Amino acid sequence: MNRLTKDQRTVLGGRFDGDEALRRQIAALFGLLASIYGSERLVLKAGKLGALQEMRSDQSTERISALQKLVYEDPTIASPEEEDIPRIIEEIQDELADLLARKSVEETIEKRIAEKMQEKHEEYVRDIRSQVLKENGTVENAQTLRKYAELEKHEHQKVARSVLQHVRPSSLKEIVGQDSAVRSLLAKLASPYPQHILLYGPPGTGKTTAARLVLEHAKGLPSTPYAKDASFVEVDGTTLRWDPREVTNPLLGSVHDPIYQGARRDLAEGGVPEPKLGLVSEAHGGLLFIDEIGEMDPLLQSKLLKVLEDKRVSFDSSYYDPADPQVPKYIKQLFEKGAPADFVLIGATTRDPEDISPALRSRCAEIYFEPLSADSIRRIIKQAARRLRVKVEPAVLELMTEYAMEGRKAVGLLADAFGLALYENEGKRPARKFLQLEERHVKQAIQSNRLIPHAPSRSSEEPEIGKSFGLGVLGYMGSVLEIEAMVFPAREKGKGTIRFNEAAGSMARDSVFNAASVIRKLTGRDLGDYDLHINVVGGARVDGPSAGLAMLLAMVSALEEWPLRQDVAVTGEVSLQGKIKSIGGIYEKIYGAKQAGMKTVIVPGENAREIADPPANIEIVTADSVEQVLAYVRAK
């Protein structure tokens, strides 16, 4: 509200004091009226009320009468008596104060109304302009068109082309070394009732490619439920980050609230939340492939299991009002019925099955991809070399196989050697010929990548005393453990010592003491009379009891000076009674033994039923007791 000026306060607060003072007060009051109504408007108003002549009179009583008629807008008011003039002056002052206050408030309100009308007008003009631009298809301007042209130019510039994409198998026949896994995958996916699946296996064995190709094959079969356009949605479980408040969830979908995140502009203005669909909805009717599913957040896994059961994704928001007429039909349906999410889940992992959620495993069939053998690596390299138009000699192929234990690494090594050969040829391919890849190219690639042989051959035709080969598993890759033992008579009988790798672990130490008891039973000798030193070559850590048999063989060989065959690897837990107990990871261990050049693998008899399809060119022998193993590995 505007404040009264000093002169106005003086006039309105003044008192009658003689004719001159009265005239000044009357003149000031007329001045206030003129400031309120304006001079011209005041004259017109005085004419309508019959006060114009009185307003111009020299008589104070008549001028006061004119003031009363103008202030109260009453033409019937007569001239006042002199004794009433002070009272009338005060009443006129109070009324003028009210008029000034009302005028100040009205001006403020009118100003705000004008500002609001201007804002609405500008917004209306913007909406009209936007609508016209949309209708005319001219939403672009010079700057946006220039940026679009730059983006299009970049789209057509290709510098890096992944060699893995170039040599990736394009049919199921080109997947190498996984015939059993691919058949099992086909049986579970290419069916009227497809199953959710978990794929186990080391990296670079073709899990993702197999799943993609099996879906394409299944879409062409009449008995499967997949449409021709069924989607294959691929995502890495390690990158699936989400907010427990459901502000963002790329896998399942989330709700964009109008206040915190902002839905579309037209929805946000009406306070309508907008659901955003996730990958499970994108995969509806097709296949959702989650690589490294074992790395996903456990709570997100639980939410995914709920979607698998319901085949729908539900959405919720405190901003959703079902009675709001501004809510579009599709948003109402998403909040009230949810979004369809009927898909087949395939999760791939390099973890052990025990590390995967039991709830997830119970809902999925399980398929195991085997580690690639040397023969499979050779086939992968040859297949990739044909696509790259590269000629690989047998010696070069063997060298690459020695340093690559998975398909992805083998193709990468081939690509590095190919690049070196092409560089030496000044970037030109021979006309109508395959580029020759030489051994020196591969060696340069090996040296630059600091590669080491993954499974150097350890087998030998010559028997040795105090040395045996055990088998271990790291991830899904089997490996050979070289174990050696030395025995010396103790300086004092009955006070012998046993020394063992500290890094090998407590399990391996327990296996040594178990073996000592069995040796005493077999030979009648007390190891307390000897100083015994056992070593796992390379400092490998032994996490389970499966190396117990190999340790016993090395110890008894050193004690009795029995030479042992060096082309045999053994695995199994030894009980105190000398029995060979079952162990895990049997397939991986057999593959590891084959990679190391072993001719024979001895496994517990209890594991025999697990070996349905052993690899070629390696003999599998089962044994139930230490005596049976000694009879086989002791050199004649």
Instruction: Report the catalytic residues.
Output: 546, 589
Q: Are both 263 and 330 inside the same structural domain? A: yes
Q: CA 323, CA 320: separation in Å to the nearest integer?
A: 9
Residues 324, 399, single domain; the answer is no
Q: Is the pLDDT of residue 163 over 70?
A: no
Strand pairing class (390-392; 435-437): parallel
**Which of 368, 400, 428 represents a domain boundary (last residue)?**
368
Domain closes at, from 335, 368, 401: 368
Same domain? For 610 and 476 the reply is yes
Alpha carbon distance 520, 526 (integer Å): 6
For strand 580-581 and strand 573-574, is the pairing parallel, antiparallel, or unpaired? antiparallel
Averaged confidence pLDDT in the chain: 82
Which distant-in-sequence residues (6+ apart) come within 8 Å of 430 by Cβ? Answer: 436
Total domains in the fold of the chain: 4
- List pLDDT tens digits, range 28-46: 888 888 887 788 888 888 8
Please report how many Cα atoms fall inside a 13 Å half-sphere around the Cα of residue 500, on the Cβ side. 19
Judge whether 280 lies within some domain: yes
Helix, strand, coil % (nearest 5) of the chain?
50, 15, 35
Q: What is the mean pLDDT of residues 467-487?
A: 85
Please name which of 436, 415, 440 lies closest in space to residue 425, comparing C-alpha atoms.
436
Is pLDDT above 50 for 13?
no
| H helices, E strands: number in the chain | 23, 22
DSSP notation for 441-488: HHHHHHHHTT---SS----EEEEEESEEEEEEEETTEEEEEEEEEEEE
* pLDDT score for 43: 83
Residue 108 has pLDDT above 70, yes or no: yes
Asked, for residue 191, whether it belongs to a domain, the answer is: yes
93/182 same-domain check: no
**DSSP 8-state secondary structure symbol assigned to residue 355:** G
The pLDDT assigned to 432 comes to 61
Q: What is the pLDDT of residue 171?
A: 85
For residue range 339-386, what is the model confidence (pLDDT) as tens digits?
999 999 999 998 888 889 999 999 999 999 888 877 888 888 888 888
The pLDDT value given to residue 401: 85
Residue 517 and residue 434 share a domain: no
What pLDDT score does 211 carry? 92
pLDDT tens sequence across 253-304: 888 877 655 556 656 666 778 888 999 999 999 999 999 998 998 899 999 9
What are the φ and ψ backbone dihedral angles of 232, each rounded to 5 degrees?
Answer: -115, 105
Q: Please report, as a single letter, which amino acid is at residue 235.
A: V
Last residue of a domain, one of 73, 107, 141: 107
Q: Is the pLDDT of residue 412 over 90?
A: no
What CA–CA distances, in Å, run from 208 to 241, 279, 341, 553? 21, 17, 21, 42
Q: What percentage of residues in the chain have a pLDDT greater than 70?
A: 87
What does the DSSP assignment read for 564-599? EEESEEE--EEPTTSBEEP-S-HHHHHHHHHHTT-S
**Contact present, 223 and 178 (Cβ < 8 Å):** no
Highest mean pLDDT among 309-313, 405-409, 459-463, 606-610: 309-313
Predicted confidence at residue 232, as pLDDT, reads: 93
CATH, residue 244: 3.40.50.300
The string of pLDDT tens digits covering residues 511-521 is 777 888 888 88
Q: Which of 33-37, 93-97, 446-450, 502-506 has the lowest mean pLDDT?
A: 502-506
Q: Which of 602, 514, 529 is nearest to 559 (CA)?
A: 529
Q: Is residue 485 one of the residues assigned to a domain? A: yes
pLDDT confidence band for 8 (50 / 70 / 90): very low
Contact 347, 369 (CB under 8 A): no
Please report, for the domain that includes residue 487, its CATH number: 3.30.230.10
- C-alpha 126/C-alpha 134 separation (Å) is 12
pTM: 0.67
Same domain for 387 and 361: no
Average the pLDDT over 499-506 and give the result.
68
Same domain, 487 and 603: yes
Whether 97 is in a domain gets the answer yes
- Three-state secondary-structure class, residue 533: strand
With CA atoms as reference, report the closest residue to 257 among 195, 309, 198, 320.
320
Between CA 438 and CA 183, with CA 384 as vertex, the angle to 5 degrees is 140
Residue 540 lies inside a defined structural domain of this protein: yes
Residue type, 361: R
What is the band of 11 on the pLDDT scale with cuts at 50, 70, 90?
A: very low
CA max distance for the chain: 153
| Domain annotation covers residue 138 | no
Residues 275 and 302 in one domain: yes
Domain co-membership, 362 together with 382: no
Say how far residue 453 (Cα) sits from the centre of its chain.
Answer: 34
Q: Mark whether 335 and 428 lie in a shared domain.
A: no
Asked whether residue 417 falls in the same domain as residue 548, the answer is: no
Instruction: Evaluate whether residue 85 is within a structural domain.
Output: yes
Asked if residue 603 belongs to a domain, the reply is: yes
> What are the φ/ψ torsions at residue 624 (nearest 5 degrees)?
-110, -10
Average pLDDT rounded to a whole number, residues 180-203: 90
Say how far apart CA 256 and CA 274 lie, in whole Å. 5
To the nearest 10°, the Cα dihedral for 449, 398, 375, 190?
40
- Residue-level pLDDT at 14: 42
Q: What is the DSSP letter of 205?
A: S
Domain with 417, as residue range(s), is 377-448
Residues 215 and 308 in one domain: yes
C-alpha torsion sign, points 586, 588, 589, 595: positive
Q: What confidence tens digit (pLDDT) does each residue in 52-100 have? A: 888 888 888 888 888 888 888 888 888 887 777 888 888 888 888 888 8
